[in-house]
Every structure is written in structure tokens, then in C-alpha cells.
Amino acid sequence: MSGEILGLVLLVALLTGIFVGFPIAFTLIILGIVFGYVGFGETVFYQMVFQTIGMMKEEVLAAVPLFIFMGHVLERAGLMERLFTSFQSIMGGLRGSLYLGVLFTATIFATATGIIGASVTVMGLLAAPAMTRSGYDQRLSAGVITAGGCLGILIPPSVLLVVLGPVLGVSVIHLFAAAIIPGIILSGLYIAYTIVRCL
């Protein structure tokens, strides 16, 4: 089987597995092993072992579980709820104060943890009902929560940048230095857009 056909079959199998409802991680692992074996034979198993050992030797990746643990602790301690309530109280007189509270909270939480799952989940559970009760636009509410939660990808300390550094062969500190200004600018643009939409 040619590489082009194998790639198309892999893509179809990947989309089918995801749409059927299999977890994405297991779908990628299983399809990688199966199609790797079909395309390259037994060599794929040796490559898996060498790649795993090589990634385990990366000292920088030891920080990833600690970032995730820190985000989990902050979420369980209720600090995000308190921060959101504080911003909501400070900006109570402004139009769209809930939107702004979500964005400020998500920005600060991104600088504290570097993960996105906790931020989106907590802000969705905490802010979405309050926005719905207050009569806020549901589409803009969903966009603000999602966009604010995704700031954790860019604003240091980002887990994605920690993982990306060894893969690209670039210092994680340089990636952090390169990402902090765009992350703050992006957060500012989100806030400015929200203020303009609420006028």
C-alpha cells in the first residue's frame, strides 16, 4: 500500500474513532501503532521504545505534572471562584462586568497554572449560569469563557511550551520570553473587543 493511501486511510480511521466517541489519546496511540506497523513493519516497535526513553531523559518535562498539580490545587481551593467574585465586585458598575471578570480571572489563572482545562471548566460552571441569569448574550458568553480559558496555552508558565521546547530543541525560557508579550496583548485585545461589544 502506498504512503498516500495509507495516510488517507489513517485520517479516515482517526476521524471515525473520534466521532464514534473513543478517547482521543487512546485513538491516537492505537492508530499510531497499527498504521506504523502496516507502513514500517516491526521497526515501529523499536522506534516507540527509543522515543519513549528519549522523552523520559528530558529533565524539563518533569515540570509538567507539577503544573497540572498546581492548577488542580488552585481549582480545589476555590481561589478561582474568589478571584472571579472579586473582579465582579470591582467592575460591578461597568457594562459587561461578568465578561470582563471572566477574562481577567482567566488571564491571572493562566499565569498561575499554565493549563487550560481547569480554567475553562471552572469558568463555565461558575460564570455561565450567572451570565445567563443576567441576560447576557449566550454566544458572546461562550466565546469569552473559551477564549479566556485558552490563554493558558500562550501565557507562561504554559505546559504546552514546556512540552514544545525539548521537541523543537529550543530553550523553554526563551519560549516563555517570546510568549509573554503576545499573551498579554491577546488578553488585552479580548478585553477591548468585549468592551466595544458591550457599548
pLDDT digits (tens, 9 = 90+) for 57-70: 777 777 778 877 87
pLDDT single digits (tens) 169-180: 888 899 999 999
User: No. of H helices and E strands in the chain?
Assistant: 10, 0
pLDDT at 178: 92
Structure confidence at residue 165 as a pLDDT band (50, 70, 90): confident
**pLDDT surpassing 80 at residue 71:** no
> Environment class of residue 50 by beta-carbon count within 10 Å: exposed (0-12), middle (13-18) or buried (19+)?
exposed
Q: What is the pLDDT of residues 140-160, one digit of tens each?
A: 999 999 998 888 888 888 888
- What percentage of the chain carries pLDDT values higher than 70? 99
Of 110-114, 125-129, 171-175, where does mean pLDDT reach its minimum? 110-114
> Using a CB cutoff of 8 Å and minimum separation of 24, what contacts does 37-43 make?
38/1, 38/6, 39/1, 39/3, 39/6
Residue 149 CB partners (closer than 8 Å, separation 6+)? 106, 116, 119, 120, 123
Worst-scoring range by mean pLDDT, 64-68, 82-86, 134-138, 161-165?
64-68
* Confidence (pTM): 0.72
pLDDT bracket for residue 41 (50, 70, 90):
confident
| Backbone φ, ψ for residue 154 (5° rounding) | -100, -40
